[in-house]
Structure 1
Amino acid sequence: MPFLNIIYLFIYLFIYFSRSAKGLSEEGQVLLQFKNNITDVSHQLTNWVATDLLPCNWTGITCTGSSVTNINLSNFNISGEVPEGVLGQLTNLTALDLGNTNMGGYFPLDLLNCSNLMTLNLSITYIGGPLPTMISQLTKLQILDLSYSNFVGTIPDSLGELPALQLLNLKAANFTGVLPSSLGKLTNLTEIYLGLANFTLAAIPSWFASFTKLKTLWLRGNLLNGSIPDIFANLTELVSLDVSENQLTGSIPLSLMELPNLEVIELYANQLSGELPATIGNLRSLSQIDVSQNELSGAIPESVTTLANLSIFHLWQNNFSGSIPPGMANLQALTEFVLFENHFTGSVPGNLGQNCNLTRFDVSTNLLSGPVPAHLCDGQQLIELIFFNNMFSGMMPDVYGSCMTLARVRFEINKLSGPIPDGLWGAPEMLILTAHNNMLNGSIQPTIRSALNLGTLDISSNWFVGPLPQEIGNLLLIQKLSASGNNLSGSIPPQLSDLSRLNWLDLSQNAFMGGIPAALGNCSHLSTLNLSMNLLTGPIPSELGELSSLTVLDLSHNALTGEVPSILSRLPLENLDVSYNNLSGVLPPGLLPVTDAKGNPYLCDVASNCEASGQQTSSKSNGVMVSAVVGTFVAAMIVLIVGSCCFYRRYKIFNEQRKGLLQNASWHLTSFQKVTVKEYEIAEFCNNPDNVIGSGGSGKVYKAVLSNGQPVAVKKLGWGEMKGDALHDHGFRAEVETLGKIRHRNIVKLLCCCSNNESNLLVYEYMPNGSLGDILHSTKGGTLDWAMRYRIALGAAQGLEYLHHDCLPQIVHRDVKSNNILLDADYEAHVADFGLARVLETTTITTWRGESMSAVAGSYGYIAPEYAYTLNIGEKSDIYSFGVVLLELITGKRPIEAMFGEGVDLVKWVMDKIQSTEGLYEVLDTRLGRAAHDDMILMLRVAVLCLCRHPNNRPSMREVVQLLVEAEPKSYEEKFNSKSNISDSIWQGTATTQMKNIAKDMTNKTKATDTMNYIVATPNFLGL
């Protein structure tokens, strides 16, 4: 036996060494070459080692026999460019999936050697450039997914030479031009996604009729026009049709109602008219229909009530009328019932919700009446209960007090009476509760302590009584609290001071008594405070001077006493109303332009005599004092006159000429604020080069001091020059039309403008700390600590939010950059320079495309990619530029620097760096301490969202503001006590919830859905 064992040992060693001599297979060596050319950030490919004989057990590799046939690295945290001449050696390869990675570079041409390739997925990558025409060599290709990639140019005709192709996904790539008719040859297609691209305006091509095997047709956001053709009748296998967000007109064709397998119809955001076809009941498989944001009219067809599988029913923002069919309550699959902004009348079926699990009910802004249906939450899944701006009457059913899933409840502007159910006050998931302008009564229940997620509470203009409970202090996330126009009484609870995120507090027109709590000075985010028309007494607390964000303060119609605190003049107040109180003393001079103080007999301004009783001195003393003052004044005048005579002759002619030229220049002045300006005085400052404080492409900026001592900034522009057939006025008209009518604490104030036949002068409030760009990129940049940089970012975002969301019509800045963000004495941000701004009519904005311009405008390094090649402006272009500003604040670097390398800007440099943990920390400004790193990373994530390649994937500016609020720097104690990793909290914690909730408010659901899906599907986001 020992002898046999020795023989066996020799045989084993012989086999082992003979195999080892062969080493790793050729295909394994090819894969190692691929690995050596990329960066495996998360070390997911550690078992790709040269000591193996075959790569078949390596992560992401599948073999058939000993040959590599499948490479699946999707969702791996790998980066780098796909190496040329490597993967093409794997001639037996049938599937290559690099989707949702950080790979870049161009399409690897050697892949065309893989003649057996059936699946190619390069989606959600940085791989781009033109798609090679030789792609037709991959004749066995069945799946081609290039969605959310960087491919540009036109789609090559040769793409239609792939006879086996079953799935073609070009969604949100950057292709342009027209859809080639050769695609009509792809008769084996079952799924085609061509949406969110930049194709030329055109009708739906007739060659779509050849896709007889098609099950999914996705043409969203492609600039399609004309009517929906009848050719879809040929697509008898069609399951899902999406032609939303286009410019389609005409009626919904009856031929669509004859497709037996159709489950999803998405036609929203077009210009369709006519009625919803009565034959819609033929679509027995229909589960979703969305025809919102069109011009459809007529009633809901009765046949809709026969659609047993109908789950999502969206008709909002149309001209539908008539009543809601009672049979809708019988649809057991119904989850979303959304009909807002139509002309529906009658009552909502009383048993709606009794037979289904509704999650969303929104019938707001209609003409509906009757009682509120009581069964909408029977399935205990209802999230949105919205029926504001109707004529509902009666009481709010008590059953909604036990609906624990409710997050958004809005029933303002109705005729409801009775109390709000006790449980509804404290719903644990509630984000928004608005019930204003009804006839509700009762009191605010202490159960409100449980509404820990509540962000907005508006119960104004009702008949509520009793106190504002101290439990209101538990609502730590609340931003807006309005209870005006009720009969609330008692004292204002000091617990309001715990609401650190409170932005809007309106308790006006009630019967509150006692003093104003000094603790309100702790509400650091408060911008509007209205306590008018109450029974408040005592002084105005000086602690209100700590509210550094306060722009509106209304304390009128109370019984307040004492003086107006001078510290209030430090605030950025735009409106201060202290009228009809019992205030006394002198109004601080800095408050005069923004203050209404009438009805206070003992309160006077600086210019009055303030001769209140008890404050006068004796007449004799006054006479002596007056005589002394007059004598001194006369003596001084004599000295002045004698001295002046000595120089009079010398300067007489010069002064008369200079004054004559300035005063006779036919200046025309237009004021936008309360300010006293002499036109020639301003012009004189602009003639002195020593007063220049800045310059740009449109002109120079001067510092001037008005006669009252107020410093101002004056931008001097030329009158204009002809460029072609147009008069170019250097942005003067745009600046005046934009800034002249808007008011916001984070928008620079245009005080007035002066014009004559030679130049235009724009007079602004003076910003002593200059621009963010000048400070950040100078030796002073280190003085901006992270807390200050965060405050600047949030302020600028709030200014842009006002332009995008609160101005009608909407205003797009078009030149957002750090040099156009000015800083006042307290380093508060003010968005400036509106010379390129454009006012967009809201009726034209249904997607990011906005308005087409004739030439690219903006600043290099800040221009959004879609703007550069389409000349379409929209608010999403501003958001991209703001993302660059955020990167400047985070990195301390300019948008263009030599250290980035040729052709690389700040965005590309950061995106490359953050693919690894080491690189992530390398982008953070080294002038700031490591203690700020976690907070900087939170803002970096917001910046990356703003810089998404496709505009539809960028958040709105309102979302950006909310995310920045969530990224507020935390103290060391807060970080130490945090239950979750601070680096992940913005997405895995509160901000994820906030982002999803904001998404529900968006009228463009695609944008929110795609953005959230991208974040959720990208585990390596920022390499963390």
Structure 2
Amino acid sequence: MSPEMANTTYRRNHFFLLLLIGFISSVSSDELEFLLNLKTALAESDTKVFDSWRSDNSVCNFTGITCDDSGSSVKEIDLSHQNLAGSIPFDSICQLQSLEKLAFGFNYLNGSVTEDLNKCSKLTYLDLGNNIFSGPIPDISSMNGLLYLYVNNSGFSGTFPWSSLENMTKLVVLSIGDNLFDQTPFPKQVLKLLNLNWLYMANCSIGGEIPAGIGDLKELINFEISSNYITGEIPKEISKLVKLWMLQLWANNLTGTLPVGLRNLTNLQFFDASTNYLEGDLSEIRYLNKLKSLQLFENELSGEIPPELGEFKQLVNLSLYRNQLTGKLPPQLGSLSDFNFIDVSENFLSGQIPPNMCKNGKMTELLILQNNFTGEIPASYSDCKTLTRFRVSNNMLSGVVPSGIWGLPNAEIIDIATNDLEGGITSDIANAKTLAQIFATHNRLSGELPPEISKATSLNMIDLSHNQFSGKVPATIGELTQLTSLHFDNNKFSGEIPKSLHSCASLTDINMAYNSFSGQIPAALGWLPTLNSLNLSCNQLSGQIPSSLSSPRLSLLDLSHNKLAGAIPESLSIEAYNGSFAGNPGLCSQKVSYFRRCSSDSRGTSSVLRTAITCFSIASAIVLVFLAYFCYLKNKNQKDDQSRSLKEDSWNVKSFHVLGFVEDDILDSIKEQNLIGKGGSGQVYRASLKNGVELAVKHIRNSDSVHRKRKHSGKQDSSEFDTEVETLSSIRHVNVVKLYCSITSEESNLLVYEYLPNGSLWDRLHTSKKLGLDWETRYGIAVGAAKGLEYLHHGCEKPVIHRDVKSSNILLDEHLKPRIADFGLAKIVQTDSTHGSTHVIAGTHGYIAPEYGYTYKVNEKSDVYSFGVVLMELVTGKKPMESEYGENKDIVYWVCSKLKNKETVLSLVDSSIPDLYKEDTIKVLKIAILCTSRLPALRPTMRTVVKMLEEAEPCKLVSIIITKDDDGKKKNDKILF
């Protein structure tokens, strides 16, 4: 080549190189612009990830950005877990021509995902999961090279674009669960994704049966389709999925047996098909020896637990409660693994408790209550320091309770009730620093209570009733300041009732009946601010009845069958309380005819006063008669019908507390002028008694169909109603409304409650009765209502699920202290007793937990969700459903849509709450968000909610008062309230 030609060739190549460099530079410039647009869109995010995203920096050096090998194009954007907020500008991002990975998982991104996403056609990895988007997922059919698709738990709704999956035959991961998609049968497009190894479709409204074609997805290692509408049987073809590591089918409506061939899934480590309608035995499970977690609770399974489970070396979690299982637990169960949890409660299991489940010192919960277990409690559990819950009640266990059980350092509950156990509570209890509840009723425990019980400072409930404990109750018991319930009844205790109990300011329930207590009743018991029930009957108590007992608002007072003497305090000396003092021949009363008259030196009401009262009564009676006659003339026909309907019925009264009224007092109150409320289950009237006491009466008129059934079958059909009402009547808690009695007939049911003068929380927040509630009052209402629900869930012998928690069912007394009302009754009164199931979804729109959409088998976590909505009402002042939230949206959606940054979060707080409290309100709002998690398993228990609320107590106010010093200069004095 000549020099001239070589020079020409060089100049030409140099020219093309310059053009190429210029082209590359222009592409980089465009990509920089697209990424800076993304930064601008997410500018309000509380993150430092964008600090390196500057125009003077190479895009390949941006945090979260990966370029291709040439360094000229953006290949990956990974901004997961970066606390991002705002909307993603897909129109810019999808212009990155080489983009293969787009990951925004675990942030707070919101808004809708636009159709521009479909322009990211070269993506192999897309993660939008765990955000708070809204609206549907758009068509993404262009992404036929996609390998990983994560859009789970991100607030999406509408119809999922199933047709987009038809060409995504390379998909390895499909994760779309925990979204509000429209209900659809199991999508056939999924069955063509033969390369899938991870399929997560839990809680996304999938219905119908699992198709046999699921067996074709032979690469699956994870298959989760829980919390849906799935029906029918588990297909036998599932046995073809031999690579399965996790199989989650819980909370559906599956029937039939565990399919033959399930034994082929020998790689299975996590299997959960709980809360379905499965039946048959567990024989297929015996071959799955790699299982770590087996959960089949709340089904209809029967037969024996395979003995092979005792040889499983990886099994750490076994939950089979509420089935019909029989036989023994494998004796070696848990001995070969780091076993940590067992719950086989409410079955028909027998034999002895396997002794080695805590052999490796990892066990946290041992729950075997309500079975037929026999033998002794193995001594090995005395050394199980990790145990938090030890529940073996309602069995046939015998022998001495190992002393170390009482001193388990991490135990929260020790429940050994209703067995045939012996021994006593030992001094080891001093080590039980976290112990909150002891249930030991109905055993043969004996001996004295050790004074070291005072060291278990977390105790809030002690039930030692129906045992053989003796001796004095140690005075140190007064150091248990968190104590709310104390049951020592039906034992052999003696000596005086400790005066130190007055230090237990949270006590609501004391029962020391049927013992040998002597001495006087401590007056200090009457000073307990929350005492609701006091039973000291059948002892050897002497002296006078302390007048201080008139102070508490006692729903139950029983001092009968003692050696009390003197005058019954005037405030208690009414006929309604005569049963409370029976069997005390030394008592006297000027008023109650059942007792001898007190001596004349205890003068009664003067004759002048009696005359005045009599005249006033006559005058009042005349006025009332006149008013009644006037009302009678005004509404004659209506009153005649109602009066005849009520008065002519034959009524059956069941009282649950000492009553100071008769049925006619209640029947007379059922009239229009006393109407104070209406609900789905009946009308509520106020009854004003002659003694000044006011009551609330719910009138529930039976439907014609139920009435006809009762005419044919007598009163049998009302037995279920009576039984459930009696269960509710046993509830005694300062934050649960008091049910005095039920009055029933063939036509109607009357429920008589205490009257709460300040109406409901709904009234005070949202209606014309709206009352300015400061934050401290709102906080107090939140804590009180939470404690009421905690009692229903955790403090009753069997948990009570409210099913209709809402602000209108939280009533307020004269001091604005809350009471939970109407728990369970809406379901009870609408039950068809023939079939024993309700035909009406319990709950109120805006408060109903999401799982109600796909199953009626709700539990306590549904109440937790509803209570979370109430907390949102208290913080925001908003109603659960308002037009500003958007069509078919509620307060939970609205709150979550505002979680962009601190400013938008603070904007949620009710404007009437001062700024200095807003940080405190956000603490409560965070609890509300936890309570309203879409997955029930992620919601806290009410016990945890109470603890979190107590930790969120408002800071004390510091008031700045401007004063002057001695020189006349202004100074600021801080006064702490």
CA gap 1:932/1:504 in 2 versus in 1, 3 angstroms: farther
Deviations 1:570-595 (A, max 9, x none): 43433222111222322554686466
Output aligned runs, 1:379-778, within 5 Å. 379-386=360-367, 390-393=372-375, 396-397=378-379, 400-412=381-393, 413-418=395-400, 420-421=402-403, 423-437=404-418, 443-462=424-443, 466-584=447-565, 585-589=567-571, 593=576, 596-604=580-588, 607-608=591-592, 615-616=599-600, 664=644, 667=647, 668=649, 671-673=653-655, 674=659, 676=661, 686-688=671-673, 703-713=686-696, 742-743=728-729, 744=731, 745=733, 746-747=736-737, 749=739, 764-776=753-765
CA gap 1:901/1:498 in 2 versus in 1, 3 angstroms: farther
Deviations 1:469-520 (A, max 9, x none): 3332232221212333455455433433332322221223444444333332
The answer to whether residue 913 in structure 2 is matched with residue 945 in structure 1 is: no
* Secondary structure of the structure 1 residue equivalent to 2:782: helix
Q: For residue 873 of structure 2, what is the aligned residue in structure 1?
A: 888
Q: In structure 1, what is the Cα distance between the partners aligned to 2:431 and 2:749?
A: 58
Q: In structure 2, what is the Cα distance between the partners aligned to 1:342 and 1:734?
A: 22
Q: For residue 976 of structure 1, what is the aligned residue in structure 2?
A: none
The answer to whether residue 260 in structure 2 is matched with residue 247 in structure 1 is: no
Q: In structure 1, what is the Cα distance between the partners aligned to 2:133 and 2:634?
A: 69
Q: Which amino acid aligns with 1:144?
A: L
Q: In structure 1, what is the Cα distance between the partners aligned to 2:788 and 2:526?
A: 22
Q: Offset of 1:89 from its aligned partner?
A: 1.8
Q: In structure 2, what is the Cα distance between the partners aligned to 1:603 and 1:293?
A: 54
Contact 2:675 2:683 survives alignment (8 Å): yes
Structure 2 unaligned segments of length 5 or more: list them: 1-21, 706-717, 959-977
Q: Offset of 1:184 from its aligned partner?
A: 1.5
The structure 1 residue matched to 2:91, chosen from 85, 88, 102, is: 85
Contact 2:185 2:209 survives alignment (8 Å): no
Deviations 1:156-203 (A, max 9, x none): 233232111111112222222112212221111111112223222x22
Q: Which amino acid aligns with 1:536?
A: F
Q: In structure 1, what is the Cα distance between the partners aligned to 2:682 and 2:319?
A: 52
CA gap 1:391/1:972 in 2 versus in 1, 3 angstroms: farther
Mean CA deviation greater in 916-925 or 427-436: 916-925
The structure 2 residue matched to 1:113, chosen from 114, 119, 124, is: 119
Q: In structure 2, what is the Cα distance between the partners aligned to 1:89 and 1:144?
A: 20
TM-score by length of 1: 0.75
CA gap 1:82/1:606 in 2 versus in 1, 3 angstroms: farther
Q: Which amino acid aligns with 1:404?
A: K
Q: In structure 1, what is the Cα distance between the partners aligned to 2:681 and 2:492?
A: 55
Q: How many equivalent pairs are there?
A: 903
Q: For residue 140 of structure 2, what is the aligned residue in structure 1?
A: 135
Seq. identity, %: 34
Contact 2:262 2:285 survives alignment (8 Å): no
Q: Offset of 1:453 from its aligned partner?
A: 0.9
The structure 2 residue matched to 1:198, chosen from 185, 192, 205, is: 205
Contact 2:545 2:569 survives alignment (8 Å): yes
Mean CA deviation greater in 461-470 or 877-886: 461-470
Q: In structure 2, what is the Cα distance between the partners aligned to 1:608 and 1:28?
A: 92
Q: For residue 154 of structure 2, what is the aligned residue in structure 1?
A: 149
Mean CA deviation greater in 118-127 or 46-55: 46-55
Q: Which amino acid aligns with 1:295?
A: E
Q: In structure 1, what is the Cα distance between the partners aligned to 2:631 and 2:525?
A: 53
Contact 1:563 1:583 survives alignment (8 Å): yes
CA gap 1:147/1:955 in 2 versus in 1, 3 angstroms: same
Q: In structure 2, what is the Cα distance between the partners aligned to 1:191 and 1:479?
A: 46
Mean CA deviation greater in 333-342 or 68-77: 333-342
* Secondary structure of the structure 1 residue equivalent to 2:435: coil
Q: In structure 1, what is the Cα distance between the partners aligned to 2:428 and 2:930?
A: 38
Q: In structure 2, what is the Cα distance between the partners aligned to 1:75 and 1:833?
A: 43
Q: Offset of 1:635 from its aligned partner?
A: 12
* Secondary structure of the structure 1 residue equivalent to 2:156: strand
Q: Offset of 1:400 from its aligned partner?
A: 4.3
Q: In structure 2, what is the Cα distance between the partners aligned to 1:327 and 1:149?
A: 44
Output aligned runs, 1:29-44, within 5 Å. 29-44=33-48
TM-score by length of 2: 0.79
Q: In structure 1, what is the Cα distance between the partners aligned to 2:361 and 2:818?
A: 46
Q: In structure 2, what is the Cα distance between the partners aligned to 1:57 and 1:161?
A: 35
CA gap 1:366/1:703 in 2 versus in 1, 3 angstroms: closer
The answer to whether residue 192 in structure 2 is matched with residue 180 in structure 1 is: no
* Secondary structure of the structure 2 residue equivalent to 1:497: helix
Q: Offset of 1:419 from its aligned partner?
A: 5.8
Q: In structure 2, what is the Cα distance between the partners aligned to 1:665 and 1:376?
A: 63
CA gap 1:56/1:567 in 2 versus in 1, 3 angstroms: farther
Q: In structure 2, what is the Cα distance between the partners aligned to 1:393 and 1:699?
A: 51
The structure 1 residue matched to 2:901, chosen from 916, 921, 928, is: 916
Contact 1:739 1:834 survives alignment (8 Å): no
Q: Which amino acid aligns with 1:50?
A: R
CA gap 1:127/1:931 in 2 versus in 1, 3 angstroms: closer
Q: In structure 2, what is the Cα distance between the partners aligned to 1:38 and 1:292?
A: 45
Q: For residue 999 of structure 1, what is the aligned residue in structure 2?
A: none
Q: In structure 2, what is the Cα distance between the partners aligned to 1:871 and 1:292?
A: 16
The structure 1 residue matched to 2:811, chosen from 790, 802, 822, is: 822
Contact 1:396 1:417 survives alignment (8 Å): no
The answer to whether residue 49 in structure 2 is matched with residue 45 in structure 1 is: yes
The structure 2 residue matched to 1:296, chosen from 297, 301, 315, is: 301
Contact 1:220 1:243 survives alignment (8 Å): yes
Deviations 1:634-667 (A, max 9, x none): 9979x999x99xx99x999979989978755553
Q: For residue 10 of structure 1, what is the aligned residue in structure 2?
A: none
Deviations 1:972-1013 (A, max 9, x none): 99xxxxxxxxxxxxxxxxxxxxxxxxxxxxxxxxxxxxxxxx
The answer to whether residue 276 in structure 2 is matched with residue 270 in structure 1 is: yes
Q: For residue 708 of structure 2, what is the aligned residue in structure 1?
A: none
Q: In structure 2, what is the Cα distance between the partners aligned to 1:897 and 1:337?
A: 44
Contact 2:806 2:847 survives alignment (8 Å): yes
Q: In structure 1, what is the Cα distance between the partners aligned to 2:782 and 2:947?
A: 12
Contact 1:551 1:574 survives alignment (8 Å): yes
Q: In structure 1, what is the Cα distance between the partners aligned to 2:642 and 2:238?
A: 72
Q: For residue 713 of structure 2, what is the aligned residue in structure 1?
A: none
Q: Which amino acid aligns with 1:104?
A: N
Q: Offset of 1:139 from its aligned partner?
A: 0.6
Output aligned runs, 1:1009-1024, within 5 Å. none
Q: Offset of 1:93 from its aligned partner?
A: 1.6
Q: In structure 2, what is the Cα distance between the partners aligned to 1:800 and 1:941?
A: 19
Q: In structure 1, what is the Cα distance between the partners aligned to 2:837 and 2:40?
A: 46
Q: Offset of 1:216 from its aligned partner?
A: 1.8
The answer to whether residue 56 in structure 2 is matched with residue 56 in structure 1 is: no
Q: Which amino acid aligns with 1:416?
A: S
Q: Offset of 1:823 from its aligned partner?
A: 1.2
CA gap 1:751/1:85 in 2 versus in 1, 3 angstroms: same
Deviations 1:248-275 (A, max 9, x none): 3333333222345444433333333333
Deviations 1:356-399 (A, max 9, x none): xxxxxxxxx62214xx66544442323334555545435752x5
What is the RMSD computed on CA atoms of the aligned residues? 5.0
CA gap 1:34/1:424 in 2 versus in 1, 3 angstroms: same
Q: Offset of 1:286 from its aligned partner?
A: 4.7
Q: In structure 1, what is the Cα distance between the partners aligned to 2:613 and 2:251?
A: 79
Contact 1:809 1:839 survives alignment (8 Å): no
Deviations 1:688-743 (A, max 9, x none): 4xx66566789876544233433234567899899xxxxxxxxx999999768622
Q: Offset of 1:140 from its aligned partner?
A: 0.9
Q: In structure 2, what is the Cα distance between the partners aligned to 1:119 and 1:656?
A: 75
Q: In structure 1, what is the Cα distance between the partners aligned to 2:937 and 2:614?
A: 74
Q: In structure 1, what is the Cα distance between the partners aligned to 2:258 and 2:630?
A: 83
